[in-house]
Amino acid sequence: MDLTVIDWLIMLLYFVFVLGIGFALKRYMKTSKDFFQAGRSLPAWICGLAFISANLGAQEVIGMGASGAKYGIATSHFYWIGAIPAMIFVGVFMMPFYYGSKARSVPEFLRLRFDEKTRAYNACSFAVMTVFSSGISMYAMARLIQTLHIFDAPFQHFGLPLGWIFHFAIILSAIIVLGYIFLGGLTSAIYNEVLQFFLIVAGFLPLVWVGLKNVGGWTGLKARLPQDFTHSWQGMTNAHTNPLGVEWFGLSMGLGFVLSFGYWCTDFLVIQTAMATDSEESARRVPLIAAIPKMFFPFLVILPGLIAIATPAMTSHAMLAAGQTMPSMNASARPTPVGKVAGTTTMGKGLIPVKVNAVTGKVLTDEKGNPVLDYDLAIPNMLLHYFPTGILGLGLTALLASFMSGMAGNVTAFNTVWTYDLYQSYIKKGAPDAHYLQMGRIATVGGILLSMCCAYAAMSFNNIMDTLQLVFSFVNAPLFATFLLGMFWKRTTSTAAFTGLVSGTVAAIIHHGLTLPADAHPGIHGGWITVVHMYPSEMAQNFWTAIWAFSVNFILAVVISFFTEPRKESELVGLVYSLTPKPVEHHMAWYARPSVIAIGLIAMLVTLNLIFK
């Protein structure tokens, strides 16, 4: 990669500012509330942008670009169906309970509404998950830095072995994220998430512009792609007639309802940003403000994937070819034979190279003998192909920023849940506030160290990480049913909630063990008990696992509630919809009312789906 001083300077500036913000905020961190909850004092627009940025880690950016290249504009379902409706719901209906109940975290809300065991179950699984996600972010960043050869030149200049780049990237990201959270707590994390949001926009908007111009605009792009790549709803009546391999019901119920509501309405990683606002009204507006940019993000992160496919033939300059995509620890030091690269890239599609075995140098093929494409390189190759030095530094900084803020959101969620829900509740109750503030800082260091362990584990044992990710999906799948019943049905009892939650997870495990996606072998992909049903794609299997988990949790919790003693209604005021005074909106200007914003958002959503149907 031919980076110049200009590119380095931009990256360096970003790091200086990120840490500078942390230092500037340090003096405001006087109480645990300042540190864990940003003093509940931030304006709604800041928290709104942080709300989507917390989720917009680099895996998301790279993954969405990859999906765009693989499936086309249908990937936008992950935004339009898989995020916006849930964001509207959490803002309009659920936020008053999270904010109004004075709970400091999502697990704490579960304790207020149900009991200790439900909270402990949620807090423990969530804490493990955050550390794991932050570790995966760290690992992915180090791999990308290695793959793009960002640090190769300075390492060679100082005569350091290139094999150290991976460790250097891990340690560098750990120090920076630790630095700014340790100093400025949640405020620092939120500020950096907002900074990252604007950097992503600033880095990717010119990419889409230049890319579109090069392929002849939207019409030119459409002409170069298969027809179903530019239509998101085509062939959705049957799972076998669309690229996603899932039919409209599985898509809207599995992704649009269970998975998306389960994530956006219950995950403390995003909810914590809304809970940092200065009032309940602002907290309700946070997800609604976030939904506006979220709706247009497909044009920023999915479109580059489509352009990557449509861009004519690879040129030789600086492009990442297949042999360099999966470097082992020392592989990056090995020059790739030129002939091999040229031979393999011609088999790729647009800017997407084929995957090559790093050791043997052979092209990887699927079961039918077709070469496997490395879609994850869609976005990085777009940056390298279209950006000259200067703006290339900005594009790379945006990518690095999204890795960092993805990690930071997880680390702040971890330190809060650890300190409030585990340490203060079960290890040391009733200590002075300063003690918990200190514990928060220690938890930040601990969280980062554990993330580093996860990053190295991910490097050494790929299968263990896949399995863990699968286990977490089982734990998360039934979660929304518990919150839905807890908030909107006063009869739901604690025993019912806990039993339902655990049974939902068991149902997800059993469903996974009994089904298999087409073209997969029994094992990690499913069917490890016996195969009773085949799904056309892994995505369809995931969606239906979630639907089963949710349904089992919901039905069991309702049935058990009828056989167990409910809590007194007076104890549930502020926690259940029917027993809580409705939020008053008439004193706000009409355009600032959450219900009006929600209707506007739904209209925009329908319009976008109609345009790209």
Residues making contact with other proteins (CB under 8 A): 6, 9-10, 13-14, 17, 20-21, 24-25, 27-31, 34, 38-39, 41-46, 48, 187, 191, 194-195, 198, 202, 206, 210, 213-214, 278-279, 281-282, 285, 289, 317, 385-391, 393-394, 592
> Cβ closer to other proteins: 11 or 124?
11
Rounded Cα gap, residues 155 and 79, in angstroms: 40
For tokens 């809970």, the residue is 275
Q: Minimum CB separation from other proteins for residue 95, in Å?
A: 14
Q: Minimum CB separation from other proteins for residue 194, in Å?
A: 6
373, β-bridge pairs: 354
Angle at 259 between CA 256 and CA 262, to 5 degrees: 115
> Cβ closer to other proteins: 48 or 527?
48
Q: Minimum CB separation from other proteins for residue 384, in Å?
A: 9
Q: Minimum CB separation from other proteins for residue 492, in Å?
A: 34
- Residue 559 DSSP SS3: helix
> Cβ closer to other proteins: 44 or 454?
44
> Cβ closer to other proteins: 197 or 483?
197
> Cβ closer to other proteins: 216 or 226?
216
Q: Minimum CB separation from other proteins for residue 596, in Å?
A: 14
Q: Tokens at residue 407, please?
A: 């990690």
> Cβ closer to other proteins: 125 or 277?
277
Angle at 437 between CA 434 and CA 440, to 5 degrees: 155
**For residue 562, with 0-12 CB atoms within 10 Å meaning exposed, 13-18 middle and 19 or more buried, which class applies?**
exposed
CB-based burial, 463-475: b 16+ in 10 Å, e otherwise: eebeebebbbbbb
Q: Minimum CB separation from other proteins for residue 213, in Å?
A: 4
**Single-letter amino acid code for the residue at 515:** T
> Cβ closer to other proteins: 388 or 522?
388
Rounded Cα gap, residues 57 and 402, in angstroms: 5
278 φ/ψ angles, rounded to the nearest 5 degrees: -85, -15
3-class SS letters over 357-404:
CCCCCCECECCCCCECECHHHHHHHHHHHHCCCCHHHHHHHHHHHHHH
Q: Minimum CB separation from other proteins for residue 356, in Å?
A: 25
Q: Minimum CB separation from other proteins for residue 273, in Å?
A: 13
> Cβ closer to other proteins: 161 or 388?
388
- Start-to-end CA span in the chain (Å): 39
- Cα distances from 114 to residues 106, 279, 317, 496, 561, in angstroms, run 12, 25, 60, 9, 12
